[in-house]
Amino acid sequence: MSMQGSRWIDPAPLEVERPRLPWWTLLPRWAQVVALPFVLMWLVVWLLVQVGRLLWRYPLTLVAAVLVGWVQLATGWWGLAFTLLAVVVVLGVWWRVHLGSFTRSVVVQVRTERRRFGVYACQWRAVMRLSGLVKAHRAKEYRPALGLVRSHGWRDRVRVRMVKGQSPQDWELRADNLAHAFHARSCRVRVRKPGRLELDFLHRDPLTHPVPVPALAESDDGVDLRKITVGRTETGKPWRIRLLGRHLLGVGVTGAGKGSLLWALVWALAPLIRTGRVRLVGIDPKGGMELGQAPEVFRRVVFDNGPDAVALLEEIAATVKERATRYRGAVRSWSAATGDPFIVLVVDELADVLAYQPDKQLRERANRAMQTITSQGRAPGVAVVGFVQDPRKEVVSFRHLFPTRVAMRLDEKAQVDMVLGDGAREQGAAAHEISEHTPGVAWTKDEGQREPLRARAFHITDTDLDTLASFAAGRLVRRAQVLPFPDQSMPWTERDAA
């Protein structure tokens, strides 16, 4: 029969979803009865775990809520009002007397619980879905798990368990999306361990303002070569550098603030330099632009990369060998008891000495001597503090011999791992993102240190350098002079004469 002209239309297939019964309802009755106690036990354990997790995440809120309820039941509303008043008074006294511990114990905890609930827990699911960090498999959604949160005001540190099949790069690619979603200025991604990340949501940079240098220590009693304070870390702690048994390599583009790190080190060492327990020698291939600002602190300083600089390096290499021979069998490594001064060799632009020297023979001699000093100098009490703008292997082929590395502002992402070692960028060290408006800010990693830390070196002004030079020389040194602005009405010839 022809269908033409027919008004018959096939009915749509009936798409009624069949009700799906849970699998256990299909078990025989006796099996359900046997499984019941186990299921109940599992439920109790699950409940306990959930309560434990809540207590772990919101301890202050939960304990306060329980105590408020208990006091109200025990003493009524008036009792509760008096108790709350007493608590407020105690907190006020604590705040007045010891602000530091009050902030650590109360303020940070309250802020953490508030932000965990109000910002992260409430929006986690939506943000994960919208930024494409959830995965679907067989109609099931797999979502990254939100872990511990710690809020310090300037930064929220959020732990995350990734979904299987994700990589840290997936999160790095979405760092901006996450920052905007959670109203942060930026987001740093760091790998904690396989499958676990730590996200730092930054609300402001605590290192925006220069860190003033503390007063010069008059006596060398408190100066410890194992922890020399050269600035402040972003968490507000002192930035300490170890020189004993270490060499330091500082890398940064021009204007990154390498000079401030160098002078902050010398500033801290000044009392030991004055008493002769530390001997500072320097090479500044840029004609003394940097080290020439306070040459008084150096026992010897060379202002080029020519034969004098190479001779100085060879002299130090010979000292290293001589000390090693003398200490052999007597002491394991340098200490003040050996009677020898601790030698600190500062090289302001390593590349000029080791790579850019046009005379091949001089270049090879410099490399040989530097290799001897860096590879053998740690035990005999010789430390190298070297700075360079370009961290590539061709420039400093033995950068691995510097256990302490400092990455100041860098040009490229790839340079971060070159300076701080493989995996440093995965751990959040974004030295290529340091602003040019914050010279002196750096990411640093020391041998044996698990994570790189971000810090800012003290700001050493020209006046500070004069103070330093005067302190070392034992007489007044004034190099930074502010000249009066010339009188514009005067003719040129008279102005020059004035």
Ligand X SMILES: Nc1ncnc2c1ncn2[C@@H]1O[C@H](COP(=O)(O)OP(=O)(O)OP(=O)(O)O)[C@@H](O)[C@H]1O
Q: Binding site residues for ATP, as ranges?
A: 252-259
Structure token pair of residue 471: 């302190």
Residue whose Cβ sits closest to ligand X: 440
Q: Is 240 within 8 Å of 227 (Cβ atoms)?
A: yes
Measured from the CB atom, is 245 or 288 closer to ligand X? Answer: 288
Least separation in angstroms between residue 436's CB and ligand X is 9
Nearer to ligand X, 210 or 377 (CB): 210
Binding ligand X (rule: CB under 6 A), the pick from 459, 465, 472, 477 is 459
Helix ranges restricted to H, 278-421? 307-327, 350-354, 360-376, 414-420
Q: Is 260 in the site for ligand X (CB under 6 A)?
A: yes
For residue 4, the Cα-to-chain-centroid distance in whole angstroms is 79
> Of 179-187, 216-224, 336-344, 455-463, which segment contacts ligand X by CB under 6 A?
455-463
In whole angstroms, how close is the CB of 409 to ligand X at the nearest point? 8
Instruction: Kindly identify the residues of this chain, within the stretch 276-295, that bind ligand X according to CB under 6 A.
Output: 290
CB of 261 to ligand X, least distance (A): 8
Exposed/middle/buried for residue 123 (C-beta within 10 Å: 0-12, 13-18, 19+): middle
The annotated binding site is made up of 252-259
Q: Toward ligand X, which CB reaches closer, 118 or 238? A: 238
252 binds ligand X (CB under 6 A): yes
- Beta strand 453-459 with 228-233: parallel, antiparallel or unpaired? antiparallel
Q: Which of 155, 188, 258, 425 binds ligand X (CB under 6 A)?
A: 258
Q: Which residues contact 131 (CB under 8 A, 6 or more apart)?
A: 174, 177, 178, 181
254 touching ligand X, by CB under 6 A: yes
Shortest Å, Cβ 263 to ligand X: 8
CB 60 within 8 A of CB 110: yes
Instruction: Please provide residue 143's backbone torsions phi and psi, each rounded to the nearest 5 degrees.
Output: -120, 140
> Is residue 452 within the footprint of ligand X (CB under 6 A)?
no
Burial class (CB in 10 A: 0-12, 13-18, 19+), 60: middle
Find the shortest distance in angstroms from Cβ 442 to ligand X: 9
Task: Select the residue interacting with ligand X from 152, 160, 162, 210 (CB under 6 A).
Answer: 210
Cα 10–Cα 12–Cα 16 angle in degrees, nearest 5:
150
How far is it, in rounded angstroms, from Cα 423 to Cα 137? 31
**Binds ligand X by CB under 6 A, chosen from 255, 287, 307, 486:** 255
Is residue 144 within the footprint of ligand X (CB under 6 A)? no
Of 286 and 299, nearer to ligand X (C-beta) is 286
Site for ligand X in 372-411 (CB under 6 A): 389
Span near ligand X by CB under 6 A; candidates 81-89, 255-263, 292-300, 373-381: 255-263
Q: Which stretch binds ligand X (CB under 6 A): 82-90, 175-183, 453-461, 477-485?
A: 453-461
Contact stretch for ligand X (CB under 6 A) within 250-258, 391-399, 447-455, 465-473? 250-258
Q: Write b or e for each residue in 424-451: b if 16 or more Cβ atoms lie within 10 A of its Cβ, otherwise e.
A: bbbbbbbbbebeeebbbbbbbbbeeeee
Contact between 256 and ligand X per CB under 6 A: yes
Confirm or reject binding of residue 232 to ligand X (CB under 6 A): no
Number of residues that bind ligand X (CB under 6 A): 16
Pick the closest to residue 415 from 190, 251, 256, 189 (CA basis): 251
CB of 456 to ligand X, least distance (A): 6
Single-letter code of the amino acid located at 406? V
- The helix, strand and coil proportions of the chain, stated in percent and rounded to the nearest 5, come to 45, 20, 40
List interacting residues with ligand X (CB under 6 A). Answer: 210, 252, 254-260, 290, 389, 439-440, 456-457, 459
